[in-house]
């Protein structure tokens, strides 16, 4: 699933003060000369000095910037005047600008140009950043001021956007225990401390089992595997001192292709069992007791805050709002998904029977026979598709879509006035096509290189704000396409082209922000992937196909037959994909809505899946003992459903365009798209914003059609 990288400084973050007072003067002087701390200069209201980045300046710049932010926060907290929106909330919005600037450089080193030197500094800074952050969220005097403004606003409401800032800030502090009494706060902190070490142990155990359970094959056990897979398995074995053998490592990227292609059924079973037993081997690295303890501590913590369960606490600021809403959606899709699995299994069984197999399709057979079905029904030659997906054409295509929907114009900046951190990065000025007014700068870093984070992501170096004049946006898209030989085109896969559109959807979401206060740019976990997923749909519009999906040599437009094959393939194997995903998402929610005292995760997983009538041919995408989204941190605990939630909105919104008189380029719908789905960011409740766009709440019917499922019963 595609990653969206939140800028480091979104949310309320802060830092630690280092150094002694007698060295302060020196520190200040050095800081003044640190290029990472300098104001951004040049056109477009200034841009980061990516040409002046030296790793040796980073630690000092980060520490200094965090210290400055904490000083600003202290000044706000200790202001003798009575708390108001202006002297408290607005002042908080304004604070930390130095830290935001330095974080941009930190983010570049972390995501685009990592190195051993950087990782050393990162290890030093990570706990300091955590400290800084908690110094803000646990600042008692600050919270009392926020609370006063919040309480006053309950009888005297503020203008809508200010009220939203107050509500969200108050809620964020409240959710982190700011309202507890001294004893409650003490217990709350103890719980968090124990949890953070349990999260580490959990991840380390998973990592241990991924690294230490390797299946070694002999030369005569390679049936069905591709040459490139065999070559990398050989290297993987050599690296582990098993020269002459072939290693199937215990990771998804190794397991998945092996189960798809290997003709050795017994080995498929072995690799499958090894993979799905990570963290569940009854040894020193077994995660089951750790999970029970995590669930109990989370439960205790939210009970301190007065909630029934963790899910209820967590979902209050999500679009779903309540666990019941997320469960209801999942249960409807689950029913349809199970039916689809039955059909898929029947198709696969027919192929297996015809081949003379005398067994029933087992979980380790699913991928193998699904691939045979795919070849028979949807044969799509990915090399052929690639010839029509040339990167420069696709870049023109995203700009075309931005023009038609957002009225944006992208003009290349080639005079060197905007520094870049690598020669492969390209920059454009974004303007409004009609008025010519400046909107921002777009950075595009498409090619893979050592030190760059894998996958694709979108980020912003400067967010929109309007409380003291318009602050323009600096946004970037990053991907990892293989650098071609000089003069050769970059040809990418269909998946990569979709991701390219996806990340650009995030960028458009950044550029189109109309919020007044920076914190209202924040993402809502089950909503923030929706806009980007939606933009993927424009890749398959006739306008884009006919203008931009052209053969890189002949210029011929992608043939209709090929387009149709791509469309057909979209519903392939959706029973499997949806069921393995939903089993994990449902379990995530069940764990966090159940009283966990005395829970035995192993038993609980078994009982609940039996109750759900989990098909015996499929296993959870992430079984509990290695469900890192949920147990290696709090990031995705009771949030895994969010992918489906965003998918429902995506399908429902896409159907509005499909049915509009002007199709995907219908002007009226495009205006509503920008006005309600993109521009408000988090200045408006997402559910409300969606209703304004669609004229009704989202329904799941479109999602069911997109996945080839039977419509839900009325
Ligand atoms: Zn994304």
226 Cα to the center of ligand 1, angstroms = 31
Using pLDDT thresholds of 50, 70 and 90, give the confidence band for residue 19: very low
Range with lowest mean pLDDT among 11-25, 212-226, 359-373: 11-25
What is the spatial distance between Cα 352 and Cα 361, in angstroms, rounded to a whole number? 8
506 Cα to the center of ligand 1, angstroms = 7
6 Cα to the center of ligand 1, angstroms = 10
249 CB-near residues (< 8 Å, 6+ apart): 210, 214, 236
3 Cα to the center of ligand 1, angstroms = 5
Q: How many CB atoms lie within 10 A of CB 553?
A: 9
644 Cα to the center of ligand 1, angstroms = 13
Q: Once rounded to an integer, what is the mean pLDDT over residues 425-446? A: 98
Q: What pLDDT digit, counting tens, does each position of 439-483 carry?
A: 999 999 999 888 888 788 999 999 999 999 999 999 999 998 988
Q: Once rounded to an integer, what is the mean pLDDT over residues 626-630? A: 94
Check if the beta carbon of residue 681 is closer than 8 Å to that of residue 691. Answer: no
591 CB-near residues (< 8 Å, 6+ apart): 295, 601, 604, 624, 630
Q: How many CB atoms lie within 10 A of CB 117?
A: 12
502 Cα to the center of ligand 1, angstroms = 6
| pLDDT for res 127 | 86
Mark the residues whose beta carbon lies below 5 A from ion ligand 1: 2, 4, 529, 532
Two tokens, residue 516: 């007044």
Check if the beta carbon of residue 711 is closer than 8 Å to that of residue 333. Answer: no
689 CB-near residues (< 8 Å, 6+ apart): 676, 677, 680
Q: What pLDDT digit, counting tens, does each position of 97-113 carry?
A: 999 999 999 999 999 99
234 Cα to the center of ligand 1, angstroms = 34
362 Cα to the center of ligand 1, angstroms = 33
Per-residue pLDDT for 359 more than 50?
A: yes
What is the spatial distance between Cα 515 and Cα 506, in angstroms, rounded to a whole number? 16
4 Cα to the center of ligand 1, angstroms = 4
532 Cα to the center of ligand 1, angstroms = 6
640 Cα to the center of ligand 1, angstroms = 14
| pLDDT for res 4 | 39
Residue reference for tokens 């000083």 = 71
475 Cα to the center of ligand 1, angstroms = 14
508 Cα to the center of ligand 1, angstroms = 12
503 Cα to the center of ligand 1, angstroms = 6
457 Cα to the center of ligand 1, angstroms = 7
675 Cα to the center of ligand 1, angstroms = 20
103 Cα to the center of ligand 1, angstroms = 21
525 Cα to the center of ligand 1, angstroms = 11
DSSP letter assigned to residue 626: G
> What is the end-to-end Cα distance of the chain in Å, rounded?
31
504 Cα to the center of ligand 1, angstroms = 9
456 Cα to the center of ligand 1, angstroms = 8
5 Cα to the center of ligand 1, angstroms = 8
Using pLDDT thresholds of 50, 70 and 90, give the confidence band for residue 131: confident
DSSP 542-568: HHHHHHH-B-TTT-PBPPHHHHHHHHH
The pTM is what? 0.90
- Phi first, then psi: give them for residue 460, nearest 5 degrees: -130, 140
In terms of Cβ atoms closer than 10 Å to its own Cβ (0-12, 13-18, 19+), residue 85 is: middle
Q: Once rounded to an integer, what is the mean pLDDT over residues 514-539? A: 95
531 Cα to the center of ligand 1, angstroms = 9
529 Cα to the center of ligand 1, angstroms = 5
Per-residue pLDDT for 7 more than 70?
A: no
Check if the beta carbon of residue 458 is closer than 8 Å to that of residue 503. Answer: yes
647 Cα to the center of ligand 1, angstroms = 12
Range with lowest mean pLDDT among 26-30, 311-315, 636-640: 26-30
The three-state secondary structure class of 442 is strand
> Helix-strand-coil percent breakdown of the chain, rounded to 5?
60, 5, 35
326 Cα to the center of ligand 1, angstroms = 20
650 Cα to the center of ligand 1, angstroms = 13
Residue reference for tokens 């290890």 = 123
How much of the chain exceeds pLDDT 90, in percent? 85
Task: Identify the helix (H) or strand (E) that includes residue 296.
Answer: helix 288-304
| pLDDT for res 377 | 87
| pLDDT for res 21 | 34
DSSP 168-231: HHHHHHHHTTTTS-HHHHHHHHHHHHHHHHHHHHHHHHHHHHHHH--EEE-GGG-TT--HHHHH
Using pLDDT thresholds of 50, 70 and 90, give the confidence band for residue 713: low
CA distances from 657 to 394, 663, 666, 672 (A): 21, 5, 7, 11
366 Cα to the center of ligand 1, angstroms = 28
Pairing mode of beta strands 473-481, 438-447: parallel
Check if the beta carbon of residue 428 is closer than 8 Å to that of residue 438. Answer: no
| Averaged pLDDT of the chain | 93
Per-residue pLDDT for 545 more than 70?
A: yes
447 Cα to the center of ligand 1, angstroms = 18
528 Cα to the center of ligand 1, angstroms = 8
636 Cα to the center of ligand 1, angstroms = 15
In terms of Cβ atoms closer than 10 Å to its own Cβ (0-12, 13-18, 19+), residue 23 is: exposed
455 Cα to the center of ligand 1, angstroms = 11
541 Cα to the center of ligand 1, angstroms = 20
672 Cα to the center of ligand 1, angstroms = 21
Per-residue b or e along 370-397, where b marks 16 or more CB atoms closer than 10 Å to that residue's CB: bbebeeeeeeeeeeebbbbbbbebbbeb
What is the spatial distance between Cα 394 and Cα 388, in angstroms, rounded to a whole number? 10
544 Cα to the center of ligand 1, angstroms = 21
| pLDDT for res 1 | 38
């Amino acid at each position: 699933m595609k990653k969206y990288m939140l800028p480091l400084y979104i949310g309320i973050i802060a830092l630690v003060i280092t150094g002694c007072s007698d060295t302060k003067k020196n520190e200040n002087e050095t800081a003044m000369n640190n290029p990472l701390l300098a104001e951004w200069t040049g056109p477009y209201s200034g841009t980061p000095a990516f040409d002046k980045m030296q790793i040796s300046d980073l630690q000092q710049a980060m520490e200094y910037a965090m210290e400055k932010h904490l000083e600003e926060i202290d000044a706000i907290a200790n202001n003798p005047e009575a708390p108001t929106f202006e002297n408290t909330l607005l002042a908080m919005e304004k604070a930390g600008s130095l830290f935001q600037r330095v974080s941009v450089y930190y983010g570049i080193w972390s995501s685009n140009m990592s190195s051993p030197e950087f990782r050393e500094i990162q290890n030093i800074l990570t706990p300091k950043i955590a400290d800084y952050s908690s110094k803000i969220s646990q600042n008692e005097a600050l919270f009392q001021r926020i609370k006063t403004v919040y309480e006053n606003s309950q009888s005297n409401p503020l203008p809508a956007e200010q009220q939203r800032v107050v509500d969200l800030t108050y809620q964020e502090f409240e959710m982190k225990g700011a309202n507890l009494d001294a004893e409650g706060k003490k217990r709350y902190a103890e719980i968090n401390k124990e949890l953070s070490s349990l999260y580490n142990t959990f991840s380390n155990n998973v990592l241990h089992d991924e690294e230490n359970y390797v299946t070694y094959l002999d030369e005569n056990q390679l049936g069905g595997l591709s040459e490139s897979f065999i070559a990398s398995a050989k290297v993987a074995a050599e690296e582990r001192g098993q020269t002459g053998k072939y290693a199937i490592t215990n990771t998804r990227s190794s397991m998945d292709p092996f189960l798809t292609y290997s003709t050795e059924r017994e080995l498929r079973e072995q690799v499958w069992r090894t993979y799905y037993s990570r963290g569940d081997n009854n040894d020193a690295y077994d995660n089951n007791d750790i999970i029970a303890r995590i669930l109990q501590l989370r439960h205790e913590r939210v009970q301190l805050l007065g909630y029934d369960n963790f899910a209820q606490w967590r979902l209050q600021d999500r679009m779903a709002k309540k666990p019941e809403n997320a469960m209801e959606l999942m249960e409807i899709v689950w029913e349809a998904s199970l039916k689809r699995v039955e059909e898929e299994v029947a198709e696969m069984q027919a192929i297996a029977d015809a081949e003379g197999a005398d067994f029933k399709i087992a979980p380790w057979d699913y991928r193998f026979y699904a691939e045979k079905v795919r070849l028979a029904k949807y044969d799509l030659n990915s090399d052929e598709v690639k010839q029509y997906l040339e990167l420069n054409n696709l870049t023109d295509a995203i700009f075309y879509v931005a023009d038609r929907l957002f009225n944006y114009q992208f003009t290349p900046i080639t005079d060197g006035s905007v520094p870049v951190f690598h020669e492969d990065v390209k920059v454009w000025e974004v303007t409004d096509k009609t008025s010519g007014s400046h909107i921002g700068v777009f950075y595009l870093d498409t090619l893979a290189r050592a030190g760059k984070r894998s996958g694709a992501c979108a980020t912003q170096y400067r967010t929109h704000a309007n409380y003291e004049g318009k602050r323009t946006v600096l946004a970037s898209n990053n991907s990892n396409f293989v650098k071609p030989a000089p003069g050769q085109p970059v040809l990418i896969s269909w998946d990569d082209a979709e991701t390219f559109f996806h990340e650009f959807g995030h960028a458009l979401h950044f550029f189109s922000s109309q919020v007044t206060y920076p914190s209202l740019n924040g993402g809502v976990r089950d909503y923030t992937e929706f806009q980007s997923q939606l933009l993927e749909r424009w890749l398959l519009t006739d306008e884009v196909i006919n203008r931009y999906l052209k053969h890189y040599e002949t210029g011929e437009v992608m043939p209709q037959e090929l387009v149709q094959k791509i469309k057909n393939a979209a519903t392939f194997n959706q029973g499997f994909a949806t069921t393995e995903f939903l089993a994990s998402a449902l379990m995530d929610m069940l764990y966090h809505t159940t009283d966990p005292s005395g829970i035995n995760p192993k038993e609980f997983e078994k009982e609940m899946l039996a109750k759900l009538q989990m098909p015996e041919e499929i296993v959870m995408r992430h079984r509990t003992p290695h469900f890192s989204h949920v147990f290696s941190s709090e990031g995705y605990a009771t949030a895994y459903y969010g992918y489906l939630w965003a998918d429902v909105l995506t399908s429902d919104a896409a159907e509005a365009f499909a049915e509009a008189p002007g199709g995907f380029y219908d002007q009226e719908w495009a205006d509503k798209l920008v006005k309600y789905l993109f521009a408000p960011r988090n200045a408006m409740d997402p559910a409300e914003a969606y209703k304004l766009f669609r004229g009704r709440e989202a329904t799941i019917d479109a999602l069911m059609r997109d996945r080839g499922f039977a419509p839900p019963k009325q």
